[in-house]
Amino acid sequence: MSLKLFSEPWMKKLQQLWNDDPKMLKNLQKVDFYSYIGYGLKGESHPRGFIYVDNGKVVEAGEWDGESLNWDLRADKASWEKWLKEGFGLTRLGKAVATGELVFVVGDYRQMVRNVRLSVPFLRHLELMSEIKTDYHV
């Protein structure tokens, strides 16, 4: 069964995949990473889904309901679909941000890519997203 992109079930699946992945936990626990991260579509007034990460582990996930975000990632539906089907390396990330295909509404992209303990898990979490059977009709 496909899950609607950024719906509560989709975000809960991301939470499960993240927490089951030792690569995610190991790097982020080293830096005591905690953040509210939102995901959505460009042009919308707020994100659709979010996760809350506490010391590297996702402890809350669901549809965004007014949570204050540390990171808010937006792209159009076609871009999310392409990335989640084809993958998302560091080169693609840089190009997506430079061209405005991926927008950080909140959060410092440069800080993240300069810190390997953040950039590696960031790219890994995009890989985990691609493991979710997704319905892109949002």
Q: Write down the pTM of the prediction.
A: 0.94
Tell me the torsion sign for CA atoms 55, 60, 67, 123: positive
* Distance between CA atoms of residues 104 and 14, nearest Å: 19
Task: Identify the pLDDT of residue 105.
Answer: 95
What's the pLDDT at 114? 81
pLDDT at 113: 78
Domain 3-131 has CATH 3.30.1050.10: yes
**Residue-level pLDDT at 93:** 81
**pLDDT on residue 94:** 80
Q: Where are the alpha helices (DSSP H) in the chain?
A: 8-19, 22-30, 77-86, 90-98, 109-114, 116-129
pLDDT of 90 reads 74
CB-count burial class (<10 Å; 0-12, 13-18, 19+) for 65: exposed
Q: What is the pLDDT of residue 128?
A: 95
Provide the token pair at 74: 């937006």
In this prediction, residue 1 carries a pLDDT of 83
What is the model's pLDDT at position 87?
82
Give the pLDDT confidence score for residue 40 in this predicted structure: 98
Write out residues in the chain with pLDDT < 70, as ranges. Answer: none
Domains of the chain: which residue ranges?
A: 3-131
